[in-house]
Each structure stands twice: as C-alpha cells, then as structure tokens.
Amino acid sequence: MSINSFGHLFRFTTWGESHGPALGATVDGCPPGVRLEPAMIQQWMDKRRPGLNKNTTQRNEPDTVNILSGVYEGKTTGTPIQLMIENTDQRSKDYGDILNTFRPGHADITYHQKYGLRDPRGGGRSSARETASRVAAGGVAREAIKAIAANVQIKGYMTQMGTKKIDPAKVDWDQIDQNDFFCPDAEAAAEWNDYLAWLRKDDHNSVGAIIEVVARGVPAGIGAPVYAKLDTDLSAAMMSINAVKGVEIGEGMAAAALTGRDNADEIFMGSDGPEYSSNHAGGILGGISTGQDIVVRFAVKPTSSILSPRKSIRMDGSPTEVVTKGRHDPCVGIRAVPVGEAMMACVILDHLLLDRGQTGGVRGSIG
C-alpha cells in the first residue's frame, strides 16, 4: 500500500505533523555506496525552508536534516535512511481558532469527515510542511542519480504567478536562483515582486502559480508501461503536492488544440543517437524516456489562508467567518519549486533502478 509512501524501488515514506516534535522521511531503496553527507541534503532544504524572505511564511524553521540511519562513514549502505527534521518554531496559539472551525479551501473539514478527529495545529498532516520531508528525500535521490547517470540535471522554476506569465523564449536557468521566486526571467521577477507586495499588504489576498520542472540528460529507455509510465508517476508525484490542481507533460492541456501534423516530433539520426525536431511530447513516448528534456508543469492554487474574511461553518454546523491571521505564504507556488524538483529527482532515480531490475539496463541499439 502506498498511503504515505511514494516510489517503486526507491521508496520514501513521509511522517510528521506541522506542529509535532519532528517530521521526516524514511527512505528505502537507495543503492549502496553513494556518498551522502547532511550538507548535500541541506542545500535543497534551504531553498524550501520558511522564513527566507518576506514573500514566504514568517515561521522560522532551520529545517536541519539529521541522518539517523543507512549511512556509514559518509556512504549509503543500502539500508533505510531515516531523515529527521525537528520542528522548532511551532506557535500553536496562532491556530487556536481552527480547532472548531473549518477553513475554506483547507483539508480541515475532510480530515474531520474521514478520520473523525484531526491534529488541528497548523493543519497537522495536511500542512504543506510535509513537503520538507520530500525535499530531504529528493536530496538523497540527487546524490544517487549522480552515481548512476551523472549527466542528469534537474531544474525547476516558476513560469506564471497569477495571470503574469513569463515568455518561454526568455527562460534563463542562470536567473532562477537570483530572485525570491525561482523566476527564470529577471524582468518578470521584478514585476512579480511588486505584485506580490501589493497583494500581501494591500489586497490581503494570495495568488496561484505554475511551476515547470525539467530533467535534462535522462537516458532514453527508462519508464515502465503501462501503469508506472514515467509520465504517470510524475503526474502522481506532482498532484500529491499540497494545493496542486493540474499537471502537464510537454504540451500538456494545449495538446488538445493541436493537429497531428503540428504535434509530431519528427525524428532524425544525430551523431549520438536519435534526435527530434521538437519536444511536444515532453521527453516521454509510451511512458518511456526519449532522451530529450523531460518537461513537467503543475499549477498551484492560491493559498487558502488569507486575511480577507470567507464564510464557513463550525464543527457544530453554525455559520462563521474565517480570517486567517497565521503566518502564511501569499504564493505557495514559490516554495513548491524545490518540492517539484525533489519529486522529479525521486521519480527519475526510481525509474533508473526499476529499469535495471526489469532489463538489466541494456538499451536497444539504433543505427
């Protein structure tokens, strides 16, 4: 069962609540002999962690990862890797109101309906804080990928904030880490900055976003049709992230509007193997990688916790209005970028391993 676990051979289970003593990921299936130091994971944690700048929640968590098992003298042993992150700044009093009130757009009401009870502190298990565990697992995956397929590069960035989209022609990977939004276009980043400041301070509102994650250098031939296709697993990976409402591969929803002639990625023989005239497919055919960039996009809904009042009910059914005063991100999409990257890393590693188990990793030759 995969209720709180993700992956086939590289498989992690996340645990922990927003305001409990700790949270983490139990990572199973990492190959042995991979170099792994906490700092290798920490660099990714630092991209996601709260309190980094004024555009994300002011909760201040160092998100220090402790490796409790599975590593001996700086190398993985092939046994489960326990990654624990202690919570330090749980201001539960901020959340007192939500004990008996269901916040619109939150999982309060459905957790109550399913489980009959819930941990209300900061959303408990349904909090986006769970994604810290994913980023930690993704850090492990990145190191293991290096050992197996050294050319793989994984990069995520925001392509849209609210109605403001970037021009695909202006995507510059070098810009991504130069601004608070993982925005690959410096000009757009400046504009987003002003917009978000106004939204947060003046409009007491929040806004959605679109994130794109690319895996470059993935060898052709990995993926497991038909119910563990690379795109199927990526879709599940991204849709499982809090607040995600849509996932696209390559052309995505826009593929509907194309004709077969326009959508064809024509094939040519290059010096290193097959090449393609375009990448409408997003690097995946029949669930298996083509060797092109693997391109996934996902939409994050606007944060439900806003300072503007919204109508709701209490547990006893009585009407109320909810205004969320806690520390929240005006655009949760920003911190979803490193989460999307982490999930991409986990899926790619998982399929590299799975493919070895299925075929021994031998590729059919062309030319």
Q: Which of residues 199-238 bind a second copy (CB under 8 A)?
A: 199, 203, 205-210, 220-229, 231-236, 238
Q: Are the C-beta atoms of 76 and 37 separated by less than 8 Å? A: no
Residue with smaller CB distance to a second copy, 174 or 207: 207
155 is an annotated ligand-binding site residue = no
Cα angle, residue 23 at apex, residues 110 and 229 outer, rounded to 5°: 70
| Separation in Å, CA 141 to CA 68, 78, 272 | 17, 13, 27
286 is an annotated ligand-binding site residue = yes
| Separation in Å, CA 245 to CA 34, 162, 242, 248, 254 | 35, 14, 9, 11, 16
Q: How far is the CB of 179 from a second copy (least distance, A)?
A: 18
Site string for a second copy, 341-360 (x = CB under 8 A): ------------xxxxxxxx
Interaction between residue 14 and a second copy (CB under 8 A) = yes
Interaction between residue 301 and a second copy (CB under 8 A) = yes
For 25, what's the count of Cα atoms within 13 Å in the CB-facing half-sphere?
Answer: 30
Q: How far is the CB of 59 from a second copy (least distance, A)?
A: 18
Q: Which residue has the tokens 């290798």?
A: 40
Residue with smaller CB distance to a second copy, 154 or 222: 222
Map residue 261 onto helix, strand or coil.
Answer: helix
Q: Which of residues 72-111 bind a second copy (CB under 8 A)?
A: 72, 75, 77-82, 84, 102, 104-107, 109-111
Interaction between residue 55 and a second copy (CB under 8 A) = no
Q: How far is the CB of 51 from a second copy (least distance, A)?
A: 21
Q: Which range in 35-43, 89-97, 116-124, 175-183 contacts a second copy by CB under 8 A?
A: 116-124
Closest C-alpha among 279, 274, 220, 226 to residue 249: 279
Q: Which of residues 167-186 bind a second copy (CB under 8 A)?
A: none
Q: What torsion do the CA atoms of 209, 289, 151, 8 make, to the nearest 10 degrees? A: 80
Q: How far is the CB of 172 from a second copy (least distance, A)?
A: 21
Closest C-alpha among 189, 183, 232 to residue 210: 183
CB atoms within 10 A of CB 25: 31
Q: Which residues are annotated as a binding site for NADP(+)?
A: 48, 54
Q: Which residues are annotated as a binding site?
A: 48, 54, 125-127, 242-243, 286, 301-305, 327
